[in-house]
Amino acid sequence: MLVFGQVTNSLFGYIGLFFIIRFVGLQSWGYLSFSLAFIGVLSIIGDLGYGTAHLKYLSSGEYEEGVCTGTFLTIRTVQTLITISIVLGSLFIWINVLHRGFQSNVEIYAIILLLPYFFFARLKDVPIIYYNSKLKSARMSIPQITEAVVRNSLFIILGAVYILRIPGYNTVSAAILLAIIYSISYFIYFLLSVFLGRPWKVNRPSMELFKKYTKLAYPLALASIIGSVSGNIDKVLIEFYWHAVATGAFASLQRIASPITTFSGTISIFFIPLLMKSQGSSDKNFKTDISLFERIISIFILPLVIIFVVLRVYVANLWSAALIPYADILIFLTLAAYLVAINSAYSSSLVARGLTNKIGKITVIALIINISLDLLLIPPDVFEIRIFSLGVLGGAVSTFVAMLFETVAYRVTVIRAEKMKPDLRIFYQLLPILAQSMFLFGITSYIKIYSILLFIPVSVASVIVFLGVAVLSRQITLNQILEFIRALNPFSFGKQLHNE
């Protein structure tokens, strides 16, 4: 169910992004991306690890659902309102006290119009985390799919307006319209998430539970704060030094690579609840599940990773030829997304064991690495020293290096905590990786697949090669592939929702 939802979200997201980049332009997308990043940098108290704490306590059943929901709803509402106040206060100080500005006034209006989006994006965590803890995949998927369809349908309509040049189409900046679309679609997301969970059990918040949430979330708080900065400062710096078009290109390639992380997230989203149950059986099962989850995530996302890396120029061209000069960014963003995906098995195991302090330390170091490298690699010079500057590419390289550190650190930490031997079976997946890569290099050395009519069949054929070698090398079975395909069946939604 979640797999189908993610495929649908990615498909609509790609189509919507195509219409915006190709027909509205990278500059407007750059303005919107900067505005989202500006809010993101300032949302330092947006989570503070309370979401993870709420998921753990809901999954454990230690407290009544109503008490957990009421406590978390109060926490999340206060966090969100404080963040909105910080954003508005920062704008006031920047513009009216310091008398500074932005590349365009459009960005100011876009930031303000995105505040409802941020509000509902934060509050939707209350129902979504509840569905996660109860393994209710249909209730998690339907709001996500609806939001993606609404938002990207409006993107398509906006793109069509620009194609047809309907009178008055450029009266209002496209970036402002995009901001309004985001706020509307996430309002729908929130309403539908709440509607599907009726009747809700919401009791008065518990101070005792709040203290327990805080104790569990505390080690993750610093990571959450730095993470808000780390995940957005690259686009802020790119906007400052290289302006809106470069920001739009970087953000576009992030969006193109993002399905790798989000798709793997749909597979791994139930890891914490499952590992909570697994640790109740035996340590052997718990340890086995960690490496098994890692290999499952990896085998299903690797074909897409290889396509994005090997065919990066052709992938960028599918959206716009204007992205081709930035295509190498896709290598590092894709590899970073892959590392994030396979790390989820290890981070989930630490949460299940209650070792969130370990996650916090690893994440904080990784984020500091990311921010430091962003500040070093993105600007054209640092104290007039230009040797380190990679420009826009620097943002992607920074992310990759930070995720590489996390990959090593998580494995060392879990191996020591569980007193287990390293499981190297994931490296057996190098066989299908090499097969698919050689196939793609061979094809593209003779044929330039810029046309989507060539790109799709070549990509599909390469996936078949990957899966064929994976089956022959016993990395995956044919039944598992068929089960995955059946998970994409849209007609199972009604039955799944009824069962839940």
> 135 pLDDT exceeds 80?
no
> 492 pLDDT exceeds 70?
no
Residue predicted with more confidence, 478 or 390 = 390
pLDDT score at 418: 76
Residues 40, 44: Cα–Cα separation, whole Å: 8
Confidence of residue 487 (pLDDT cuts 50, 70, 90): low
What digits encode the pLDDT tens for the residues 248-287? 999 999 999 988 877 666 555 544 455 545 454 455 566 6
What digits encode the pLDDT tens for the residues 439-472? 999 999 999 999 989 999 999 999 999 999 998 9
Domain boundaries, the chain: 2-499
> 413 pLDDT exceeds 70?
yes
Under 8 Å CB-to-CB from 3, ≥6 apart: which residues?
A: 263, 266, 267, 484, 487, 488
Nearest Cα to Cα of residue 154 among 106, 187, 124: 187
10 Å CB burial of residue 383 (0-12, 13-18, 19+) is exposed
pLDDT score at 221: 79
Q: Of the given ranges (5-14, 24-33, 401-410, 422-431), which has the lowest mean pLDDT?
A: 5-14
Residues 465, 467: Cα–Cα separation, whole Å: 6
> Which two three-digit tokens encode residue 493?
């939604």
Q: Of the given ranges (290-299, 332-341, 363-372, 484-493), which has the lowest mean pLDDT?
A: 484-493
pLDDT score at 281: 46
Residues 201, 24: Cα–Cα separation, whole Å: 45
pLDDT score at 187: 96
Confidence of residue 185 (pLDDT cuts 50, 70, 90): very high
pLDDT score at 426: 84
Confidence of residue 104 (pLDDT cuts 50, 70, 90): confident
Please, are residues 254 and 393 in contact by the beta-carbon 8 Å criterion? no
Confidence of residue 500 (pLDDT cuts 50, 70, 90): low
Under 8 Å CB-to-CB from 166, ≥6 apart: which residues?
A: none
> 381 pLDDT exceeds 80?
yes
- Segment 122-146 shows an average pLDDT of 84
pLDDT score at 85: 94
Task: Name the pTM for this structure.
Answer: 0.82
- Segment 89-106 shows an average pLDDT of 81
Q: Of the given ranges (81-85, 103-107, 281-285), which has the lowest mean pLDDT?
A: 281-285
pLDDT score at 102: 77
> Average pLDDT over the chain, rounded to whole?
84
Nearest Cα to Cα of residue 92 among 103, 108, 114: 108
10 Å CB burial of residue 428 (0-12, 13-18, 19+) is middle
Count CB-CB contacts under 10 A for residue 457. Answer: 11
What digits encode the pLDDT tens for the residues 298-343? 888 899 999 999 999 999 999 999 999 999 999 999 999 999 888 8
Residue predicted with more confidence, 115 or 96 = 115
